Amino acid sequence: MGAGVVKSGGGKRRRGSRRSRAQPMAEINVTPFVDVMLVLLIIFMVAAPLLTVGVPVELPKTAAQALPAETEEPLTVTLSADGEVLIQTTVVSRDELVGRLRAIAAERSDDRVYLRADGSVPYEQVAQIMGALNAGGFSSIGLVTDVGGPALDGPDGG
């Protein structure tokens, strides 16, 4: 795919001339461009998971697959092990949670919210936060978990 030399005259020889005139062949080499794009793709694939909310939570492990990517930054509500409720990275009291969620829902076009709850939090508290999310205008609630949990689909999955 490099530059080469093309003989002019289409292979016909003139009488009496020993050499035909050579012309440089101009070609664009796209291999370096493809290499750079693949490196950038790998960089973004590695960096994208690091852009999620940075509240330390010990997520439960499940066999669920990841959801497809979105156009809008996802709203994340976190329930930490000590019972604190956070919207993205801001601590919010339980009394003002529904009001804040309504204000956020009015500004967003997507009604999807992700709930991250520590694995040690009782299910009752998780259900209460889910009810507050629904009352705040978010009808599509995704529970965030870690991969690597039991699949529960056979004799080994128990």
153 inside domain: no
Higher pLDDT, 69 or 92: 92
User: Left (φ > 0), alpha (ψ -120 to 50) or beta: where does 114 sit?
Assistant: beta
Report which of 87, 112, 91 is spatially closest to residue 101, judged by C-alpha positions.
Answer: 87
- Which range is most confident: 1-10, 42-51, 63-72, 108-117? 108-117
| CATH number for the domain that contains residue 118 | 3.30.420.270
Number of domain units in the chain:
1
Mean pLDDT of the chain: 79
Q: Which domain holds residue 92?
A: 73-142
For helices 97-107 and 123-135, the axis angle rounded to 10 degrees is 50
91 inside domain: yes
Residue 19 has a CB neighbour count (10 Å cut-off) of 7
17 inside domain: no
107 inside domain: yes
- Rounded distance, CA 132 to CA 94, Å? 9
136 inside domain: yes
